[in-house]
Chains A and B, each alone.
Chain A
Amino acid sequence: MEILVCVKRVPDSAENEINVAAGGADICREDLVYAVNEWDNYAVEEAIQIVEREGGSVTVVALGDAEIEESVRREMAMGAEQGLMLVDAGFAGSDGLGVATILKAAAQKKRYDLILTGAQAEDGAAQVGGMLAALLDHPYASLVNKVDVNGQTLRIGREIEGGSQELSDIDLPCVLSIQTGINEPRYVGLRGIRKVASVEIPVLNGADLGVDLASVGKAAAKVRRVDYFVPVVSAGAEMLTGSTKEVAAQLVELLKAKGGLN
């Protein structure tokens, strides 16, 4: 089985305090810690496990600036044989459809049986996988938390509300967006990263991909972010201050008063 996994480099929202830059044009990007989008690690792990069982190979593809190399190498260190970087100044500012259009061109460079994305990106909108499937005219399933290969079809599970699992059969080739919890992504150590440090990763631009730059990027985006802002919210929480001892003492009183001590 030839599998393509799309991975995105994102500011890690668990590690960062995200602030709006002056004027709201962007978030403050200095000192941000970047990482591979959480969901994408599960997608790469699933691809590797499928190939371990069924044979074939895993290719990891990322679209972005030169910094994505670090992300691609990290995922290759998990056990993906090949990497692919899609880098072109003309790609910048693409909306979800633009990103999917560029990924489609990469996906058509070779015959992939299965294409995986993360269910959503931390700075995204849970859209790229479904759009890519539609552009390729492949069947699609989102929020997948189980994959069993049965010849030319897959028995898949989708996670639905309340944590129940919806089982379906889907024909190959197809696109799946992967939900967290489907597996336990393997640990990547420094040794693993060093092992793939010298593997050559092709870098493709718009011309290499045959993507018309007028159809992607900022100018072509139908959907645009106007600005970032901090919403005017209700009073929010009453914040307790003081030393750890003082804060704990206040909490004890509050919990007592509100029935929090059984």
Chain B
Amino acid sequence: MATQVFVLIPHAAGKADDAALELLSAARAMFPGVTPTALVLGAGADQTAVAQEAAAAYPEVWGFSQEVLAYPNAELIRPLLLKILPAGAVVLLPHSTLGIDLGPGLSVKLGAAYLPDVVGFDGIDGSLLKVVRQEFSGQVSAHVQADIVKGAVITVRSGAFQPAQPGPAAGTVVDKSAEAAGLTARRRFVEVVQAEAGDVDITREDVLVAVGRGIGEQDNLSLVDELAEAMGATVCCSRPIVDAKWLDKGRQVGTSGATVKPKVYLALGISGAFQHLGGLKGSPFVVAVNKNPKAPIFQAAQVGVVGDLMELLPELTQQIQKAR
């Protein structure tokens, strides 16, 4: 199928994100033989630097530099893409907070199919593209098929495709800044407020006891505290525990929380959603306790226990205290 494929290069502070090379592999896997074009939107020296960096991997780069593009505002990027993309284009975006913001509306406006949060590719037959998605926080996977004859917007999950090797710097950057002149939107960016630092810095801890919604009630957190104390470990958590205000935001592990690199990670009553696992780096020794044998956390763990936290935690704490 004759398709033009475009990749939006996410970047910050003058550096392309890791996603830039993952999206390149995803594009190559899904559309072999098509040379994808990188789109670098930004402002000033940052934009120039990222466009040069992209050109080391992508043979063709379209650059758009305008002051209003200094911060990525999906409500500005969408009309720009509508203006510059040819009919039937395929656009790859990261399934990030920007991709989630931009993708659905872009697909509607382009009249293209929307394939969000893709984790794998399963073939293309004419204009029928088949990809893999996950549902129910990763408990099951699904093959999803879309007719992309009128184009597609595809958001790709971080880590799902191995980053491509950047080739020798052979790409050309086409400056298309003029096309981005005069953009306005009914949503105007104001500023970014950085997350507050918490009482402990979980990113520096070697041994973490992570608690999730499976703990059931706030009162039960004392069982986790007692275990962590016996182990000499620090308590961290998944997002619902922070949402419920049982623990500070600074204790949350995941894409919208902290990235931790412990040696040992004990996951208690955590299902293992990709947004949680996205914050767990450095190949720690992961032990998971969950009452659901299907919980995806068992795929990320070295050792698993199918069981009830209420029974296991007091026993484990007691045995550790005795062992010392």
- Chain A interface (Cβ within 8 Å of chain B)? 11, 13-14, 16-20, 27, 96-97, 100, 119, 122-123, 125-131, 133-135, 139-143, 155, 157-171, 174, 180-181, 184, 222-231, 233-234, 236-240, 244-245, 247-249, 251-252, 254-256, 258-262
In the bound assembly, the distance between CA atoms of A135 and B105 in angstroms comes to 8
Q: Mark B162-206, 1 if CB is under 8 A from A, else 0.
A: 000000000000000000000001111111111100000000001
A168 to B74, CA, bound (A): 12
Cα distance A259–B191 when bound, in Å? Answer: 43
Cβ A127 vs Cβ B103 within 8 A? yes
Q: Closest CB-CB distance, B68 to chain A, in whole Å?
A: 13
Decide yes or no: A240 and B97 within 8 Å by CB, A123-B136, A164-B193, A168-B189 being known contacts: no
Q: Is the CB of B239 within 8 A of A13?
A: no
A142-B97, A227-B143, A237-B302 known; A100 and B108 CB under 8 Å? yes
Mask: chain B, 302-324; 1 = CB below 8 Å from A; 0 = not: 11111100011001101110011
Q: Tell me the bound Cα distance from A184 to B218 in angstroms.
A: 14
| B142: A residues at CB distance < 8 A | 225-229
Q: Which of B141, B187, B304 contacts A168 (CB 8 A)?
A: B187
> Can you sample 17 A-B contacts with CB below 8 Å?
A16-B136, A18-B140, A19-B294, A122-B135, A122-B137, A125-B133, A131-B114, A163-B258, A164-B192, A165-B193, A170-B187, A184-B244, A224-B145, A230-B140, A255-B231, A258-B264, A261-B231
A44 CB → nearest B CB, Å:
15
Nearest opposing residue in chain B for A14, CB measure: B213
CB-contact partner of B304 in A159, A165, A169, A238, under 8 A: A238
Interchain CB contact under 8 A, B323 and A142: no
Give B193's nearest chain A residue, CB to CB: A165
CA distance A188 to B125 in the complex (A): 50
Interface contact A226-B320, CB-CB below 8 Å: no
Distance of A16 Cα from B292 Cα, bound (Å): 8
A165 near B140 (CB under 8 angstroms)? no
Contacts of A255 in B (CB 8 A): 231, 264, 266, 287, 320
* Residue on A nearest B265 in the bound complex, by CB: A260
- By secondary structure, the A interface counts as mixed
- What's the least CB distance linking A201 to chain B, in Å? 28
Count B-side interface residues using an 8 Å CB cutoff: 94
Nearest B residue to A159 via CB reads B256
Contact A96 B104 (CB under 8 A): yes
Cβ-defined partner of B231 (8 Å) among A129, A131, A239, A262: A262
| B42 at the A interface (CB under 8 A) | no
Would you give the shortest CB distance from A14 to chain B, in whole angstroms? 6
Q: Is the CB of A158 within 8 A of B136?
A: no
Residues on A with C-beta less than 8 A from B156 are none
Report B36 CB to chain A, min CB distance, Å.
22
Contact A254 B144 (CB under 8 A): no
Q: Does B113 contact A (CB under 8 A)?
A: yes
Give the complex CA separation of A223 and B213 in angstroms. 33
- Is A226 a contact of B186 with CB atoms below 8 Å? no
Residues of A within 8 A of B319 (CB): 245, 248-249, 252
B116, A126: Cβ atoms closer than 8 Å: yes
Alpha-carbon gap, A159 to B271, bound state (A): 22
Q: Which of A122, A141, A225, A236 contacts B299 (CB 8 A)?
A: A236
In the complex with contacts A139-B186, A164-B192, A236-B143 CB distance below 8 A: no
- Residues of chain B within 8 A (CB-CB) of A16 are 136
A83 to B134, CA, bound (A): 31
List the B residue with the shortest CB-CB distance to A154: B187
Minimum Cβ distance to chain A for residue B152 (Å): 9
Shortest B85–chain A CB gap in Å is 15
Extra contacts, 19 of them, besides A135-B108, A162-B258 (Cβ < 8 A), are: A11-B136, A96-B104, A130-B103, A139-B75, A141-B101, A143-B101, A158-B97, A164-B193, A167-B190, A174-B186, A180-B243, A231-B141, A239-B298, A239-B306, A244-B315, A249-B319, A252-B323, A261-B231, A261-B232
Q: Known contacts being A17-B294, A248-B319, is A237 close to B145, with CB within 8 Å?
A: no
Tell which of A155, A160, A169, A252 touches B192, judged by Cβ atoms closer than 8 Å. A160
| Bound complex: CA A27 to CA B106 (Å) | 30
